[in-house]
Amino acid sequence: MEEAGALRSHRCGELRAAHAGLAVRLAGWVHRRRDHGGLIFLDLRDASGLVQVVVHPDAAPEAAAIAADVRHEFVVHVRGEVAPRRAGTENADLPTGAIEVVATAIEVLNASETPPFPVNQETPVDELTRLRYRYLDLRRQRMAGNLRLRHRVVAFIRAFLDAREFVEIETPVLNLATPEGARDYLVPSRVHPGQFYALPQSPQQWKQLLMVAGFERYFQIARCYRDEDLRADRQPEFTQLDMELSFTTEEEILALIEELYAALAAAVAPQFALPAPFHRLTYRESLERFGTDKPDLRYGLEIADVSPLVAGSAFAVFRDAVTGGGRVRGIAVPGASETPRRGLDALTALAREAGAQGLVTAALGGSGPLDALAIEDVRSPAARFVTAAEFAAIAQACGAGRGDLLLLVAGTDAVTSRALDALRRHLAEERGLADPLRLEFAFVTQFPMFEWDEQEQRWSAVHHLFTAPYAEDIERIESDPGSVRSHAYDIVCNGQEIGSGSIRIHRRELLLRVLARLGMAEAEATAKFGHMLEAFTFGAPPHGGIAPGIDRTVALFAGERDIREVIAFPKTKSASDPMTGAPSAVSARQLLEAHIAVVLPSAEGAAGRTL
């Protein structure tokens, strides 16, 4: 039953031709105002959509007088009657486009200053201005749509997992600081002077403890915090779908995630093509073919190793790279042989920015089969040193033909991978090779367990401390840690990492071995992870999980490149909030209560200043 005196009998976006003749009460924002010689039209907007309101000065003079003064973003209350629009004036682009509301009364509920940018248009706006007035930015159709999409994504995930007997459990936000990973955000304890909590980088230990507790299938839409340098896909606070399963396998987890994402895409983003099954690549295969562990598979430009073909080349750049333990690798760009000099120079500069010493280009011209390639058909700075037969063999290895452009990089695996990955991404964007309405998901598996940290001169964990190694590689943890593979896996899509996970260590003795390999003696391990080590002695089941990013998932389905476009109130790239002014200084009294002294940085060579 309708509440007596309610501001609204209907929402703006729900009125249809069937409501013609009905007296209605509406409330919302003035999206647009048009004055046609005394006849005033208002597009009234609420969260459900738009409806046109028409005010006739003869029939409703008081309403017309008010309507003459309202402006964009005024909040108004309208009484009127739904009427069919005059033939030829219908708006097929609006769900309410067949009708209009003939106003009998209008009341201004709240006036509005002129907004700092148009709310009723999708015009470019300076980012700081958008964040300073985020509550206005969120009124715009695109941003409001992104947040509603986010709601549908999370609602679908909850229903999907609930139907599969997962239990949603919240875990603590005030945690013990851990020694690995990104920097923690620290929270001082007033009641424990000199001691700190850490905000969770992820609920990693909590979800493993829930497996020890016997819940078997857990999930959480978890808030996470990392004090790290920001990029388009990073924020100091973010949200992930945190999942953990007992008595599981890597294959079972990947199959579950594939089922979830295929169903999710069909439900909330049916405009996307979603090839199935998802691709499977090992970490080494991904680096070898695409130069990255998060490849974009919507286009080719696969990397080829041509080292055996140029090991004895007269071209010293190629020959010395191979004899020095490096490689020569390249890609073929279809139809790009006519790329002008300035374009080739730009590609060379990009390769150098990625760490390469340079880039060897070779444009293949002429006609006929490759085995008839003449050196005159090749436009390359290396043409004086590389024979036509060598160019033909390189082209064949890269899958190139006449009319294509070869891009070749010499150096270590890491250097050639970084440079060619950067070139692939740049060329795909420049040449429009990636279909924006295609989602190419892939699982990348068999990540290394350990990597050597040159700066610290020690081994560090590639994934995290609790990742399980392959059973057949455990014996090499001490003798050859670089060869140990881990049961870590990522889900990637269109060149972005969407989430990562692993099968976990669930035995105390194995965790101690891994921690020792990372330079942590048993006494230190017990001090930092004693609760986990103890829990593993009480019948901890085998378990594993994965944590896809909610922000990245929604951005993917929304077609946004920056996750800030799908977060209600994000931070800038300097981790600040232009709207509220956070972070900010606090009073001396607050610092005293928290037992904190602040030492401000100062000029090099000068002592810090303490507050």
Output the average pLDDT for the chain. Answer: 95
Give the tens place of pLDDT for each residue, 32-41: 999 988 899 9
pLDDT for residue 2 is more than 60? no
pLDDT for residue 47 is more than 50? yes
pLDDT for residue 610 is more than 70? no
Give the tens place of pLDDT for each residue, 388-435: 999 999 999 999 999 999 999 999 999 999 999 999 999 999 999 999
Confidence at residue 604, expressed as pLDDT on a 0 to 100 scale: 56
- Which pLDDT band holds residue 456 (cuts at 50, 70, 90)? confident
Give the tens place of pLDDT for each residue, 586-605: 999 999 999 999 988 876 54
Confidence at residue 3, expressed as pLDDT on a 0 to 100 scale: 53
Confidence at residue 178, expressed as pLDDT on a 0 to 100 scale: 72
What mean pLDDT comes out for the span 560-579?
Answer: 94
Confidence at residue 1, expressed as pLDDT on a 0 to 100 scale: 38
Which of 41, 40, 15, 45 has the alpha carbon at shortest distance from 30?
A: 45
Task: Give the Cα-Cα-Cα angle 191, 193, 196 (nearest 5 degrees).
Answer: 90
Q: Which two tokens stand for residue 557?
A: 């389905």
Domains of the chain: 12-110 (2.40.50.140), 299-431 (3.30.1360.30), 450-485+507-540 (no CATH)
In whole angstroms, what is the distance from residue 261 CA to residue 424 CA?
26
Q: Are 50 and 43 in contact (CB under 8 A)?
A: yes
Question: Which H or E element spans position 529?
Answer: helix 522-535
pLDDT for residue 228 is more than 90? no
In whole angstroms, what is the distance from residue 300 CA to residue 287 CA?
14
pLDDT for residue 180 is more than 70? no
How big is the chain, counted in residues? 611
pLDDT for residue 353 is more than 60? yes
Give the tens place of pLDDT for each residue, 150-164: 999 999 999 999 999
